[in-house]
Structure 1
């Protein structure tokens, strides 16, 4: 067996050894945890329903346990007031206005790239490009961060209206008429459709049948 030596540097990101060492380090993090504890890659979340004093105390005990978790002599700092979590910007008050503004900014940036790099303004070209590259930014995990403020949703609708104005021959039509002419729905209606699908899938459960308790 080789001799023990001090490690003076970390493991390069993307290495084969990195995930193994990381999993070894965090493997016992959920030891003694009373609430729901989920891990995804290097993201760890503690969840729990706090509707009684006992549940409140339980989740506080878990938070205290996690707070004492550390790497050697270095304390692991708590998350900042605002951070990105799986592509979404979340703050401690769960205000999603910044996430909405960021999504609209990204979508507008890509829309600008399409406008500068594509000469055609036909329906057959612009609609598929916007559906593939612009709209996903406006609808990614929208069931979680959407619907909070009307002004935020209007910001997203503005991006789609800007995209429709690029199409030749529809300049004289109103926003509703453009949607009808293109066979599209407003983002508000698409969100409603997504909400209904998500609710149905939740009620259906893993068995593929509607759960009796939900009826």
Structure 2
């Protein structure tokens, strides 16, 4: 019955769009299923206005955050780490000056926002995820000139940075 109501709501959205001369790209729709009733989960299908079945996906991206069918943010954390490492690697390959001020500015402008985006929502609680996020900053700060021999915590202190976990905690306190 819930599926029927959801399909009716989807039809209403299509009707509204048609009245307002708008269209939807059915290829961009994703159906995220969650629950414990496997019969409903495996046998439920929604269709677009042109009778195209909406594909199911274990992850759906909404406003830049991956939502998973299991209710965790593990996939989002993995994608965030991958993106941050890609940007950090690009910085290290592109900019030859590894001076403290230059590297710090690039970190704060390009990498830190990726790691901080919506972190109040998906902030990890498992030590494995926390360490994986921290490893991005750990590897990047190691490349700063005259910092290679220092410990991670000493590098953070000299660069005026917080650990990623501390940074997320500050955001949670500030914005909630």
> Who is 1:144 aligned against?
121
CA distance in 1, matches of 2:128, 2:166: 16
> Deviation at 1:109?
0.7
CA distance in 1, matches of 2:116, 2:143: 21
CA distance in 1, matches of 2:112, 2:148: 21
Change in 2 beyond 3 A, CA 1:145/1:25 = farther
CA distance in 1, matches of 2:99, 2:110: 17
> Deviation at 1:176?
0.8
Change in 2 beyond 3 A, CA 1:180/1:24 = same
Aligned pair partner of 1:153 in 122, 127, 130: 130
Gapped regions of structure 2 (runs ≥ 5): 1-13, 21-27, 30-44
Aligned pair partner of 1:86 in 51, 56, 63: 63
Would you say the 8 A contact 2:87–2:111 is kept in 1? yes
The count of aligned residue pairs is 141
In terms of Rg, which structure is larger?
1
CA distance in 2, matches of 1:69, 1:99: 27
| Root-mean-square deviation over aligned CA pairs | 2.5
Higher relative contact order (CA 8 A, sep 6+): 2
Using the size of structure 1 for normalisation, the TM-score is: 0.59
Alignment of 1:68-87 (within 5 A): 70-72=48-50, 74=51, 77=54, 79-87=56-64
CA distance in 2, matches of 1:164, 1:83: 32
Quick check: which one's helix share is greater? 2
> Who is 1:106 aligned against?
83
Runs of 4+ in 1 over 4 A off after TM superposition: 67-70
Aligned pair partner of 2:100 in 123, 126, 139: 123
Would you say the 8 A contact 1:84–1:90 is kept in 2? yes
Deviation string for 1:106-137 (max 9, x for gaps)?
A: 11111111111111111110000011111111
> Deviation at 1:25?
3.8
